[in-house]
Amino acid sequence: MAFPYLEAVLGFMICVYIFETYLDIRQHAALKLPTLPKQLEGVVSQEKFVKSRAYSLDKSYFHFVREAATIALDITILAFGLLPWLWKRSGDILLRVGLSAENEITHTLSFLAGMMIWSKITDLPFSLYSTFVIEARHGFNKQTVWLFFRDIFKGILLSLVFGPPIVAAIIYIVQKGGPYLAIYLWSFMFLLSLLMMTIYPILIAPLFNKFTPLPEGTLREKIEKLASSLSFPLKKLFVVDGSTRSSHSNAYMYGFFKNKRIVLYDTLIQQCANEDEIVAVIAHELGHWKLNHTMYSFIAVQVLSFLQFGGYTLVRNSKDLFRSFGFDTQPVLIGLMIFQHTVIPLQHIVSFGLNLISRAFEFQADAFGKKLGFAASLRAALVKLQEENLSAMNTDPWYSAYHYSHPPLVERLAALDELDKKTD
């Protein structure tokens, strides 16, 4: 008797939904608390707390609806055999336009086109509501409807440019890989990730945002001095016009080897009370670089990627697996999609583990910034960013441990205070 793969996947999807909904309910209860955590009393203004509470509750209500709709759609697609139906229909469409459905690459691209159209249609109402109702209601949305749809159109064009050659390469590798398939797949995806990390900030990101050099002045001098003191090979320092879409703020760095770049959101510069707070944020980010957090994370992702491809090679020829999901044939892409569904339990465990590591990295980067002498400025910046982004002030410990890759503000401030005690 064949193992009921589909039933097992559906069962686990439902179990995960129930568990995560329980965590969402716990978080919702925390968000409804009418007062600030004691640790933030006198630190965060009451006005910002009221606004943050309203924003967080709005997002929480919306999250309940979106997750319920998502699980209902996912179960419907799998339980009623819509994937094999779409695979067959995509082949029929090829025949109608005079192409052969026997060519797996063209058949797969036709299937993916249908999947993309479906995902855009089903996601559009939620994206519109999130952007033009919730984000707008709380003063974050800055983009027009035209800009919103223009971004979607650009994303589709990029998928049409990069998708076909990548899909064709993966199918070819699987068909010709033989006993070393996992190594070939991992090698291809590794090189592809390096390529995308190289071209994304240079060719793709500028399609959506404008990047301008940070003007000469004391802020630039302070950042360059900090980078130089840490031997950080800073080549370019940009400001990105994040304010054209949202008033949320951020900062990040990218680049390989001796060609590093730092990007500041214009909203970050506007929101911080003084330049030292901005420099403190950069000190935190440089801490990730100096402590090799980015490299460790990249290596972890590569190891997990290789293990996933290794697992896929063990089941890619399983007729029972494909039949369980309603397929009579064994297309490469479908095999990858089905495999991803079957390892959902492991993916959630791994994701939880990566979050724990990421949180530890954040504490270490904060400590690094403190050691550089930015303790007061970093505290002020963390509080300012929490207030300006209306981030949740009250968080449920179970929810944050499971979902948050960054520790809540209360924990980060407590960790900095603990460092102060150790140095006294």
The answer on 16 and 120 residing in a single domain is yes
What pLDDT digit, counting tens, does each position of 257-307 carry? 677 888 888 888 888 778 889 999 999 999 999 999 988 988 999 999 999
- Cα distance between residue 22 and residue 26, in whole Å: 6
**What is the average pLDDT across 352-357?**
91
The answer on 334 and 264 residing in a single domain is no
pLDDT computed for residue 7 by the predictor: 92
pLDDT of residue 27 exceeding 90: yes
Nearest to 249 by CA among 277, 221, 226: 277
pLDDT of residue 424 exceeding 60: no
Nearest to 330 by CA among 122, 87, 92: 87
pLDDT computed for residue 422 by the predictor: 67
Q: Is residue 177 part of a domain?
A: no
The answer on 131 and 10 residing in a single domain is yes
The answer on 9 and 120 residing in a single domain is yes
**What is the average pLDDT across 142-152?**
91
pLDDT computed for residue 345 by the predictor: 82
Are 138 and 390 a contacting pair, CB within 8 Å? yes
Count up the domains in the chain and report the number.
2
Confidence of residue 363 (pLDDT cuts 50, 70, 90): very high
The answer on 299 and 266 residing in a single domain is no
Global pTM reads: 0.89
Catalytic residue among 135, 276, 277, 366, which? 366
What pLDDT digit, counting tens, does each position of 38-72 carry? 888 888 888 999 999 999 999 999 999 999 999 99
The answer on 314 and 371 residing in a single domain is yes
The answer on 379 and 337 residing in a single domain is yes
How many residues are there in the chain?
A: 424
Catalytic residue among 24, 285, 387, 411, which? 285
Q: Is residue 161 part of a domain?
A: no
Q: Is 266 a catalytic residue?
A: no
Residue 288 annotated as lining a ligand binding site: yes
pLDDT computed for residue 418 by the predictor: 81
Residue 251 backbone dihedrals phi, psi, to 5 degrees: -155, 145
- Cα distance between residue 199 and residue 254, in whole Å: 11
The answer on 118 and 19 residing in a single domain is yes
Q: Is residue 189 part of a domain?
A: no
The answer on 135 and 9 residing in a single domain is yes
CATH value at residue 251: 3.30.2010.10
Confidence of residue 184 (pLDDT cuts 50, 70, 90): very high
Q: Is residue 206 part of a domain?
A: no
Residue 293 annotated as lining a ligand binding site: no
Q: Is residue 58 part of a domain?
A: yes
pLDDT of residue 182 exceeding 80: yes
pLDDT computed for residue 140 by the predictor: 86
Residue 284 annotated as lining a ligand binding site: yes
**What is the average pLDDT across 375-388?**
89
- Cα distance between residue 106 and residue 111, in whole Å: 9
Are 304 and 350 a contacting pair, CB within 8 Å? yes
The answer on 261 and 299 residing in a single domain is no
- Cα distance between residue 399 and residue 324, in whole Å: 34
What pLDDT digit, counting tens, does each position of 117-143 carry? 999 999 999 999 999 999 999 988 888
Average pLDDT, the chain: 89
Q: Is 366 a catalytic residue?
A: yes
- Cβ neighbours of residue 67 closer than 8 Å, sequence gap 6 or more: 17, 20, 21, 24
% of the chain at pLDDT higher than 70: 98
pLDDT of residue 378 exceeding 70: yes
Q: Is residue 162 part of a domain?
A: no
The answer on 305 and 266 residing in a single domain is no
Confidence of residue 207 (pLDDT cuts 50, 70, 90): confident
The answer on 225 and 311 residing in a single domain is no
Range of the structural domain that residue 356 is part of: 5-140+295-414
